[in-house]
């Protein structure tokens, strides 16, 4: 068993980082300056456990937890001078951004061999990844002269969940080797974000519709495969088939919801001819797929 933990804190405070820039055109001149302060605190913990249940069965568990806390504060002062206007405009903003993120990773793998045939193997694996992040941004107009500015607040919540379950079975019998397996994956993504605008003079609150909305996305895929390998020196023949059932559902801020489901059949055949210990000729006949988790 192995347990590890890491925590660190990164502070960027006095002396602050300083930013200055100037912009000149035919009609106006802009001079802006500001100071930025950043506080970053990442965290990580990991646990690795391996246990031999019997001489023929083994289980491995890997758990990882991580987190991140970030805060960024920035104050900015700007002078705006128009050549055709006698009075200059000045304004100052304070920007405060906070972000928190948590993530969980869990992997479980179990493998069993059989006493009567050590080449016969049963494998089970499960994995989950869960991520959640929360972001808040506040932009406040501290003071202004000859300038009509607004206060703005933005909020966002992101969630992500990935699950995968897989079972594999290898059964050799004489010159024949049979492989079968099943894998189910599910992905669930969501994002809720909103933005409000506050008039500093009247206190009126309005919703920024262009920066407000949500998104939900779900994808489930069920895969099964069967493979047969037959050896008859100097030839070897492998034939297999995999089927994939996919279900997709998505809702976005704009546009109609998406809902799809379909099934794909992916056959495969391979012939090997061994000329010598260093030369082997192969012939393939298959239907390609982008999925990489399963093999024939």
Q: What is the pLDDT of residues 95-119, one digit of tens each?
A: 889 999 999 999 999 999 988 887 8
Q: Is 225 exposed, middle or buried (0-12, 13-18, 19+ CB in 10 A)?
A: buried
Pair 187, 162: CB distance under 8 Å: yes
Is the model's pLDDT at 4 over the cut of 50?
no
Is the model's pLDDT at 12 over the cut of 80?
no
Q: What is the pLDDT of residues 68-80, one digit of tens each?
A: 898 888 888 787 7
186 φ/ψ angles, rounded to the nearest 5 degrees: -140, 130
Q: What is the pLDDT of residues 194-237, one digit of tens each?
A: 888 887 777 778 888 777 788 899 999 999 998 888 887 777 88
Q: Answer with the residue of higher pLDDT: 160 or 43.
A: 160
Q: Which residues contact 283 (CB under 8 A, 6 or more apart)?
A: 270, 271
H/E run at residue 66? strand 57-82
């Amino acid at each position: 068993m192995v347990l590890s933990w890491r925590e660190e804190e990164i502070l960027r405070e006095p002396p602050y980082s300083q930013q200055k820039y100037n912009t000149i055109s035919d009609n106006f001149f802009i001079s802006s300056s500001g100071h930025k302060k950043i506080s970053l605190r990442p965290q990580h913990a990991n646990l690795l456990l391996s246990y031999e249940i019997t001489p023929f069965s083994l289980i491995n568990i890997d758990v990882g937890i991580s987190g991140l806390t970030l805060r960024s504060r920035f104050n900015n002062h700007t002078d705006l001078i128009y050549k055709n206007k006698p009075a200059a405009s000045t304004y100052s903003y304070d920007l405060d951004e906070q972000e928190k993120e948590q993530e969980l990773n869990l992997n479980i793998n179990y493998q069993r061999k059989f006493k009567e045939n050590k080449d016969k193997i049963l494998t089970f694996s499960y994995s989950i990844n869960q991520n959640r992040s929360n972001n808040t941004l506040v932009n406040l107009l501290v003071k202004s002269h000859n300038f009509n500015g607004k206060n703005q607040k933005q909020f966002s919540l992101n969630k992500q969940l990935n699950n995968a379950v897989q079972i594999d079975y290898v059964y050799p019998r004489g010159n024949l080797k049979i492989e079968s397996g099943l894998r189910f994956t599910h992905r669930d993504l969501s994002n809720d974000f909103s933005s409000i605008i506050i008039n500093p003079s009247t206190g009126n609150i309005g919703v920024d519709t262009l920066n407000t909305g949500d998104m939900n996305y779900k994808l489930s895929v069920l895969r099964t495969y069967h493979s047969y390998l037959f050896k008859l020196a100097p030839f070897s023949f492998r034939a297999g088939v995999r089927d994939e059932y996919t279900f997709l559902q998505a809702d976005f801020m704009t546009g109609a919801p998406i809902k799809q489901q379909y099934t794909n059949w992916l056959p495969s055949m391979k012939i090997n001819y061994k000329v010598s210990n260093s030369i082997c000729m192969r012939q393939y006949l298959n239907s390609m797929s982008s999925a990489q988790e399963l093999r024939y």
